[in-house]
Chains A and B, each alone.
Chain A
Amino acid sequence: MSELLRCLAVLVEPPGAETERIAALLDLPDTPQGWEYNAIFLEQLYPYASVYLDVSGMMGGEARDRIAGFWRALGEIPPPEPDHLGTLLGAYASLADAAPDGVEAPAKRARAAWQRARAAFLWEHVLSWLPLWLAKLEQIGSPTYVAWGRTLGAWLTSEVAALRLPEGLPAHLQAASDLEPPGDDAEAFIGSLLSPVRAGFILTPTDLASVAATAGVALRAGERRYALKALLAQDAAATLEGLAELAAAPPALAGPIGVYWRQRSLRTSRLLRELAAAAR
């Protein structure tokens, strides 16, 4: 399935000359446009695993290092942005291609080893966050990218069915500490709400706009941390309540990873509700 995967991966890049051809091949309803791409990948759902897996909620950090470590473990040099979704999918396609053909024992053994590497890569660095990300895309994406996301989701499902996946939680998820109630450091709490791996849910600018609308407060234009602080400053209780609502409706994701995200999200929701009550 590596041809298809590369095609899907190309659409994580800004639309170029080849986009029209690829969109048609993938049966997308339309050719993705630059504005559409920007609205999703540059404003709402950054296509970097580390944003969702690192405790900082930002690009880079230990999460990116762990992904780079996978390349190193293979004796390869990590690419410049190893956690970019396009790179991850391209890398996975290369892993699939690298498994040797042949029926002799050594080839079979090598193929099995590659298979294990592929399964580990998928589990640790793709399945650990991509289903959650795709679920969010389904909610806020344009029809073209939603269709693209569904094909990508279908591919993920087929891979999960085809491979023997590890059992324990991916290291990224194991390493993420729980969301703590805010102590003296409100800034840190706000930061952790913006860290999906800690909060259990993805908070996009669109989500913040809807929280603001429901709470009846003004949304200040700016990056998410700034906007969230402004909402809390205006009406902490209503904002926390709105956020709790969001966290209370986690997507239904399969397997232990799905359970992780669901539990985290619900726990955060409860915490936010308590905080909202206290604020009132």
Chain B
Amino acid sequence: MTDLNELERRVSAARRDVEGRGETFYPGPSRVHLASFPPKERWDDWVELDSRAWPEREEHRYMLVPTTCFNCESACGLLAYVDRDSMQVRKFEGNPEHPGSRGRNCAKGPATHNQITDPDRILYPLKRVGERGAGKWERCSWDDALDDLAGRIRTCLQEDRHNEVMYHVGRPGEDGFTERVIASWGVDGHNSHTNVCSAAARAGYAFWTGIDRPSPDYANADVILLISAHLETGHYFNPHAQRITEARQRGAKVIVFDTRLSNTATHADYWLASYPGSEAAVLLAVANYLIQNDLYDREFMRRWFNWQEYMVKERPDEDASFAGFEAALKGLYTEYTFDFAAQESGLDADVIAEIAQVVSTAGTRLSTHNWRSAGAGNEGGWQVARCLFFLNALTGSVATPGGLHPNAWNKFVPKPIHVPSHPQTWNELNWPADYPLAMYELSFLLPHIMRERDARLEVYFSRVYNPVWTNPDGFAWIEMLTDPKRVGLYAALTPTWNETAYFADYVLPMGHGAERHDIHSYETHDAQWLGFRQPVMRAARERLGEKISDTRQSNPGEVWEENEFWIELTWRIDPDGELGIRGFAESKANPGTKLTVDEYYGHIFENSVPGLPEVAGAEGRTPLEYMRQYGAFEVTPLVGPLYEERIGEEQLEGLAEDLFGRVYTSAPAPAPVNIVPTGAPEPDADGRRAVGVRVDGEVLRGFPTPSGRLEFYSPTLAQWGWRDAALPTYIKSHVHPERMDSGQVPLISTFRLPVQIHTRSANSKWLDEIAHTNPLWLHPSHASEIGVATGDLVRVETQTGHFVVKAWVTEGIRPGVVACSHHMGRWKLHDSGQRQLMATADLNNDGSNWGLRRLRGAQPFESSDPDTARIWWTDVGVHQNLAFGVHPDPVSGMHCWHQAVRVSRAGEGDDYGDIAVDTERSREVYREWLGRARGAHEHSPDGTRRPFWLIRPLKPNREAYRLPEPVSRDGD
């Protein structure tokens, strides 16, 4: 008979013994130990067996160093396994101490290892030799590049040519870091990718809440409604997907709108393959159902909607009581019947009725999300997010458990060491008066605006951004970048080769996620956390006692990080402090010397993160040491409905109140602890600041909107020329059947596959092997109509040209719609560049006619990585965005990605990957869309360029908001 007690004793003793040696008894995670992450107390010396040596027991000793993934915005925690013998990073896994990602990653996180070991990576600063785009480079020193840049910028500042300095960011680093650098130069030169990404959804949220991002509390939701792909690729994909999965395990229902059978749709209880652009019509039908059947949260609506303002301003002759509003509301959406929504969307009216019923059962546990998807695809797409939030507002699921929180309350941005003042300039190249309500810079219009205004940039930086490839109308970008009259110097700050960098004057290598500093905080759930990205080899060597003062000392080659770069550049622009700029790059502890990243982060962690010094102190560490050791800190575990917070007595001095209960105070504002951007409601006529809103006699914090309430009715939209869109409403998209020519179908290009990153995963061999092409999704009925089968070449004609791609015939798409994912079709013109996922192509140009022809696809090659000799794929997809004209939404400024196209069998001369575009035609498209805008010169209610209260990255001072004389559009 087995003596179980004896066995138990032996097992316990053996485990203690093994673990006592610093080894692990049960290596790796298993079902038995659901999350057996290395315990954090053993991160300095962790032992693992080499899987490749199996069945031998070959032990490796590691230092586990946390950092933050840089491969999408989620900022998940990573743990670098630094081999203590070779002092090399052997792999990346999840950081269990990270409150957002909780030890988990998507495929792209561990692939950071491919990026840092990529044999094609750029290791040294390069300077162009010969023409821009000729592909000839010479190695240069950081000093030479910095002096050249600093000299030009200094001259611009001295000659009052501030608007000739521009920084254009793709993947942002630390919240506000570069904005502050640029502001310290007095330049309004921050340009972001947001208007090709999320500006539409942001507008939808901002006009409701004054905060431009949603933060759904998925894990606690009963109903999850996604107009997004958050189970596969969406923003905050991994942190959100794991919480959606938890909710599903609890029995929550998931509703997904997607014209394609996406991975997210495959997990849905309800997959709604609606016609592109019809989403808002369906949402309003659901809203109408809630309204007509009294299924809304009446009390929440009474307290928090700005219904009174709506009644007084828009229905002055009607009963202005809440009952009067309810009566009016019942009449507002009657046309949005299930049948109407069915007619617009092509969905079954019964299905829409069923999801309306499901939504009505959610109570206050309704989580919804739109980020790109329909918002980013359609003209009027911003109303998709606005109509979606309407469902949260109607059900009262705003900042409730399981509801939707405004992101600013689920995010923590600490105060930095230096805060420059607002620039006194306004850059019309980024913020033209034609689009006064644009949420972000009109970055993708830059080549058109530059040409139209005959403008010049003396110094143009791109930072982990690839506009030639990512933006629509890439040939227009090539025209701009290759014209020395337009661009004096272009510096590409990038960790890897990209299509735009080929046209740069300097290519300056910046580190990947494991080679740079940043702090991050994102709205992954109802909490606030701070994650620390750090150069892991620097941190590892410092743990062993080395002192490293410059990240280049620990990075490969001369790869740097932006933070040290910007400090150095700022110093060189103003070496003697004469321009008043140097102070922002100066140490506080040792004035007159340069600020180091250790001081910068040490200061923040010590002074600006509540609770961190105490927690670190309890372990005998400084706050910086704590963050270097664990990589993340939870500032607040649960936030909840901040709008209900009562305003303290000390802030209620010299009160004034407007007609609708907006409360203003003359008491000074307390110093903010969390400097996360939100709307900034204007003071009253006497200069008192908006402090709260009166609700049932109490002064509550409310929302950062002009009214302090949820703006069901947006007075901002109404005043700035969009009265017809001031309520949640349905705007017929530019791909609405009524607006399409015969033979045209909508092309959806707003999606990507889960394992690729927009522009910089070409250097990840694991990801490239999994996904490397982007065929055109076609429904079988459509395919048989034009006589194509899977694998056949098709020509897709857009407004500005065409591209040739392979067909993929699938029932996973709505008939009459085609789709092509946007993360593929990488190319290079010369042998230098990324070889795993970039085709070599020939670029040709004749006047305004441009063409790109693929010469060869990916091929195996010998390198320091034996895997590159095993590359078996040649196809790397097609770069469709080149053939897209620019479509700025007249309100949000978002590029409306969907295209009206004609699809036919490829002809004789067509080859795979061919792209042809006439940029003269693309300028016509630009002007066509410009004609839909309602500019500030015609519509500004107060002589300013833009509502001051709206969020704007790098906000100039109030003076700069004043509208100038209209600009000439003659150009060249």
Contacts and interface: CB of A to CB of B under 8 A. Distances in A.
B246 A90 contact: no
Interface stretch (A6-14, A122-130, A222-230, A238-246): A6-14
A158 to B, nearest CB: 6
Contacts, number: 82
A77 B246 contact: yes
B32 A18 contact: no
Given A4-B4, A77-B250, A21 B14 contact: yes
B7 interface: yes
Interface string A152-188: 0011001000000000000000000000000000000
Interface string B8-48: 10111011001000000111101111100000000000000
A89 B33 CA distance: 10
B844 interface: no
B57 interface: yes
B1 interface: yes
A25 B34 contact: no
Nearest to B33: A90
A128 B34 CA distance: 24
Contacts of A21: 14, 18
Given A16-B27, A17-B27, A18-B25, A3 B32 contact: no
Contacts of A108: none
Contacts of A9: 31-32
B846 to A, nearest CB: 58
A86 B32 contact: yes
- Residue among A1, A18, A89, A150 facing the most chain B CB atoms (10 A cut-off): A18
B4 A158 contact: yes
Interface string A10-32: 10110011100100011100000
Contact of B34 (A10, A72, A90): A90
A22 to B, nearest CB: 8
A138 interface: no
A16 B33 CA distance: 15
Contacts of B872: none
A72 B250 contact: yes
A27 B33 CA distance: 23
A84 interface: yes
Contacts of A13: 30-32
Given A6-B26, A7-B11, A16-B27, A1 B33 contact: no
A81 B249 CA distance: 11
A86 B33 CA distance: 9
A16 to B, nearest CB: 7
Given A3-B15, A86-B32, A155-B4, A10 B26 contact: yes
Given A3-B8, A77-B250, A86 B54 contact: no
Interface residue range, chain A: 20 to 34
B1 to A, nearest CB: 7
A3 B11 contact: yes
A216 interface: no
Contacts of A3: 8, 11-12, 15
A10 B32 contact: yes
B239 to A, nearest CB: 15
Contacts of A150: 2
A25 B250 contact: no
A78 interface: yes
Nearest to A1: B8
A79 B34 contact: yes
A154 B4 contact: yes
A265 interface: no
B12 A87 contact: no
A5 to B, nearest CB: 9
A77 B30 contact: no
Interface string B579-610: 00000000000000000000000000000000
Interface in A7-62: 7, 9-10, 12-13, 16-18, 21, 25-27
Contacts of B930: none
A3 to B, nearest CB: 4
B2 A6 contact: no
Nearest to A21: B14
Contacts of A86: 30-32
Contact of B32 (A6, A25, A68, A72): A6
B242 to A, nearest CB: 10
Contacts of B567: none
A79 B27 contact: no
- Residue among B10, B28, B32, B250 facing the most chain A CB atoms (10 A cut-off): B32
A35 B101 CA distance: 36
Given A77-B246, A81-B31, A87-B31, A25 B14 contact: yes
Given A3-B11, A25-B7, A77-B246, A84 B26 contact: no
Contacts of B34: 79, 87, 90
Contacts of B2: 27, 150-151, 154
A81 B251 CA distance: 16
B680 to A, nearest CB: 40
- Residue among A17, A86, A89, A93 facing the most chain B CB atoms (10 A cut-off): A17
A1 B14 contact: no
Given A18-B27, A68-B249, A89 B32 contact: yes
A207 B402 CA distance: 51
A68 B249 CA distance: 8
A64 to B, nearest CB: 11
Contacts of A4: 4, 7-8, 11
A89 B18 CA distance: 22
A12 B2 CA distance: 19
B34 to A, nearest CB: 6
B54 A17 contact: yes
A209 B15 CA distance: 42
A13 B31 CA distance: 8
A43 B27 CA distance: 26
Contacts of A68: 249
B10 A25 contact: yes
A78 B249 contact: yes
Nearest to A93: B32
Nearest to B250: A72
A151 B27 contact: no
Contacts of A72: 249-251
A183 B33 CA distance: 47
28 contacts: A3-B11, A3-B15, A4-B11, A6-B26, A6-B33, A7-B7, A9-B31, A10-B30, A12-B31, A12-B32, A17-B27, A17-B51, A17-B57, A21-B18, A25-B10, A25-B11, A27-B2, A77-B249, A77-B250, A78-B249, A79-B31, A81-B31, A86-B30, A86-B31, A89-B32, A90-B31, A151-B7, A154-B2
Given A79-B34, A154-B1, 12 more contacts: A13-B32, A16-B27, A17-B27, A21-B14, A25-B7, A25-B11, A77-B250, A86-B30, A87-B32, A87-B34, A151-B4, A158-B4
In the A-B complex, the 10 residue pairs with the smallest Cβ-Cβ separation, listed nearest first, are A90-B32, A86-B31, A9-B32, A4-B8, A3-B11, A17-B49, A87-B31, A154-B2, A3-B12, A7-B11
Interface of A: 1, 3-4, 6-7, 9-10, 12-13, 16-18, 21, 25-27, 68, 72, 77-79, 81, 84, 86-87, 89-90, 93, 150-151, 154-155, 158
